[in-house]
Amino acid sequence: MAALQAVKVNRWVYIVLVMLTLLAASLQEISWIATLLNKDSMAAALILIAGIKILFVTEYFMELHEAPLWLRGGMHSWLAILLAVLISAILNHGLG
Amino acid sequence: MDYAQPSILTTPTTLAKDYKFDSALFSVYSAAFMVFCTVLGVIILAPMLPPFGQASASAETIAAFYMEANLQKKIGLCIMMFGTPFLIPLFALVGEIMKRRMVMPVLGSVQFAAGLFGLLFTFMMTVCWGTAAFRPERSPEITQALHDLGWLFATWVASATLLQLGSICVAVFRDKSTAPIFPKWFGYFNMWMLVLGAPACVINIFHTGPFAYDGLLGFWVPYAGLFAWFVAMMLAVAGAVKRLNNAA
Amino acid sequence: MIFSDVVRENRAEKRVPVEPEFWLLIFGDLFVFSAMFIAFIVARFESEATTQVFIAGSLSLNQAIGLSNTLILLTSSLFVAQGLAYFRANQFRLANRSLLCGIGCGLSFVGLKLFEYIEKYDQGLTVTTSDFFGYYFTFTGVHLLHVVIGISLLGFIVFKIKKQQEQALPSQGLFEGVACYWHMVDLLWLMLFSLFYLLN
């Protein structure tokens, strides 16, 4: 039944979230990535990973994947705008 | 005065008939007048709001602030002082709606009392600034102290308003009648205001940064919330009064 | 695949979790925290000097506790989501068990956070030490308050399910609302963790 299928889905989402968390926490330890990205790109990447994790939480835990467009769109827009502002601030060393 | 212990044979519509709310809209107009005086007084004439960088300013800077356009400040504060009590009818109306129509007498009293406290602190805020502006040539330390005192009375005392917001929230969500008098969005809106106003409780600790009384979370967010709340209150109460008069 | 099955089954009926007005509260809270996040980033990059202060501050934070707290909160979110799923399937005992695990995780978060605060205090770092720590203590403090409120709400749901059994169970809307609030708390910490602990 749909409710208990959700239990399985949530477990997979959780595993993805944990993997992303561990990836983010150890991103700077991975030497070849550290040489590839400079400090600012690294920071931007970390914020982006946080954004992806937030997307997963809203889509699956908050059950927005079955929500009407205004709600889902609103949440995605908020996330996109927040990430855009934060990442541009990081890459441009501050806003304007 | 016997408050409604709803008898089994009375319906909410009959209850509402016992109370005359037909002149109730004047409370909303009165609140609008208060908002007008506030905006004209402390935002336009005597620009006390926003307090750009004043939480960390030196005594001399504050003293200079009061010296310039001193008469304009006095007039602005005078208008603010005059308009402040006109918010009381709105709080009283909400209180009566909660006590009688929604049959939550204690919550209604809590709401009204907390609202009065908030207004009292608004009076104190205006008195402090008025005193500072009264003799701007005094020692800068004293002027700064009065100015800071005014700001602490303005923002730090948010907990009284938070209690008022909380009581309205509880009342709206506990209203299980078939025709709820306040719309659901009003309950959630008040809850949101609680979140916006909470950081205002720690502004006494910081001189700089977002939690100072001139910072993002110490001034901009709470006061944007406060004015949005005035508007929401007026709209929601006007709607409630219309519903009450239709039911009667 | 499991994802698409669930999605396809539910695509027919689009439903708003809890009720539309509830999302005013969620978006409102997200708005406030977004303002806080942006203020933090702007302050960080104000000058080269402030960036150094922020980097130093970030490095002095207890990374192990930060990571643990993130994983703990993610786990608690899982438990709460599972609890809601069990509640919908009328399996109340399992629902309560999941919720209690979620509450347990939440309490661990609070405990670790307080331990961290005390550790910082012992190191002489307080809220007025530097800009970074001003932001750190206040932002995580506000978040901690949200966590405590969330734990209380979850406890209330557990109480309602346990005590009342068949009569006057909590409505699904209330449960969903509390669960969404908890997920929001988790979501905010994900960003806080990245901003404070990882940017260095």
Stretch B179-201: mean pLDDT: 90
Query: How many of the other CB atoms lie within 10 Å of CB of A72?
Result: 17
State which residues form the domain around B136.
21-247
- pLDDT (mean) for C37-64: 88
Give domain status of residue B8, yes or no: no
Does residue B168 carry a pLDDT above 80? yes
H helices of chain B, where? 12-18, 25-38, 59-67, 70-83, 88-96, 105-134, 140-151, 158-174, 184-197, 221-247
Name, in order, each residue with C-beta under 8 angstroms of A61's C-beta and a sequence gap of 6 or more.
A10, A13, C77, C78, C80, C81, C179, C183, C186
> Would the pLDDT of B246 be above 50?
yes
Q: What is the average pLDDT value for chain C, to the nearest integer?
A: 87
Q: What is the pLDDT of residues C119-162, one digit of tens each?
A: 998 988 887 788 889 899 989 988 998 999 999 999 999 988 88
All residue ranges of chain A with pLDDT < 50 are none
Instruction: State which residue of chain B sits closest to C28, comparing Cα positions.
Output: B192
Of C53, C33, C41, the C-alpha closest to A94 is C41
Q: Write down the pLDDT at residue A31.
A: 66
Output the CA torsion sign for A62, A65, A71, A74.
positive
Q: Could C28 and B195 be called an inter-chain contact, meaning their C-beta atoms sit closer than 8 Å?
A: yes
Q: Does A96 contact chain C (CB < 8 Å)?
A: no
Picking from C10, C82, C187, the nearest residue to A66 by CB comes out as: C10
Residue C142 near residue C149, CB atoms below 8 Å: no
The average pLDDT across B232-237 equals: 94
Cα(C154)–Cα(C161) distance, rounded to whole angstroms?
Answer: 11
* Residue A19 to residue B239: CA distance in whole angstroms: 51
Confidence check: pLDDT of B67 > 50: yes
Is the residue at B2 inside a domain? Answer: no
Tell which wins on pLDDT, B22 or B123. B123
Alpha-carbon gap, residue B58 to B55, rounded angstroms: 9
* Phi (first) and psi of residue A94, to 5 degrees: 105, 165
Q: Is A40 on the interface with C (CB under 8 A)?
A: no
- Asked if the model's pLDDT at residue B83 lies above 90, the reply is yes
Interface test with A, best of C25, C34, C78 (most A CBs within 10 A): C78
Tokens 């609103």 found at: A74
- Average pLDDT of span B181-191: 92
- In a mutagenesis test of the C interface, which of B206, B211, B216 is the best target, namely the one with the most C β-carbons within 10 Å? B211
What percent of chain C lies above the pLDDT cut of 70? 91
pLDDT band at C169 (very low <50, low <70, confident <90, very high): confident
Of residues B47 and C127, the one with the higher pLDDT is B47
Domain count for chain B: 1
Short-list C45, C25, C24, C37, CA closest to C143: C37
**pLDDT for position B13:** 58
Selected residue with higher pLDDT from B100 and B248 = B100
Inter-residue long-range contacts of B201-207, CB under 8 Å, 24+ positions, other chains counted: B201/B156, B201/B158, B201/B159, B201/B162, B202/C138, B203/B55, B203/B151, B203/B152, B203/B155, B203/B156, B204/B152, B204/B156, B205/C127, B205/C128, B206/B55, B206/C127, B206/C128, B206/C134, B207/B55, B207/B56
Q: Name the residue of chain C whose CA is nearest to B173's CA.
A: C174
More confident of the two residues B121 and C93? B121
For residue range C107-124, list pLDDT tens digits in order. 999 999 999 999 998 988
d(CA A27, CA A37) in angstroms, rounded, equals 11
Whole-number pLDDT of residue A64: 87
| Pick from B82-91, B92-101, C99-108: least confident | B92-101
Q: Do C128 and B205 touch (CB under 8 A)?
A: yes
Q: Do C21 and B209 touch (CB under 8 A)?
A: no
Residue B135 in any domain: the answer is yes
What pLDDT does residue C1 have? 47
Q: What is the mean pLDDT of residues C80-94?
A: 89
Residues of A in contact with C198 (CB under 8 A): 24-25, 27, 46
Q: Best interface-test mutation with C: which of A12, A86, A88, A93 has the largest number of C CBs within 10 A? A: A86
- Is C21 in Cβ contact with B185 (below 8 Å)? yes
Domains, chain C: 20-198 (1.20.120.80)
Q: How confident is the model at residue C12 (pLDDT cuts 50, 70, 90)?
A: low
Select from C21, C128, C134 the Cβ nearest to the Cβ of B184: C21
In a domain, B172, yes or no: yes
Asked if C78 lies within 8 A of A25 by C-beta distance, the reply is no
Contacts of C70 in chain A (CB under 8 A): 21, 25
Looking at the domain assignment, is residue B15 inside a domain? no
What subunits make at least 3 CB pairs under 8 angstroms with B? C
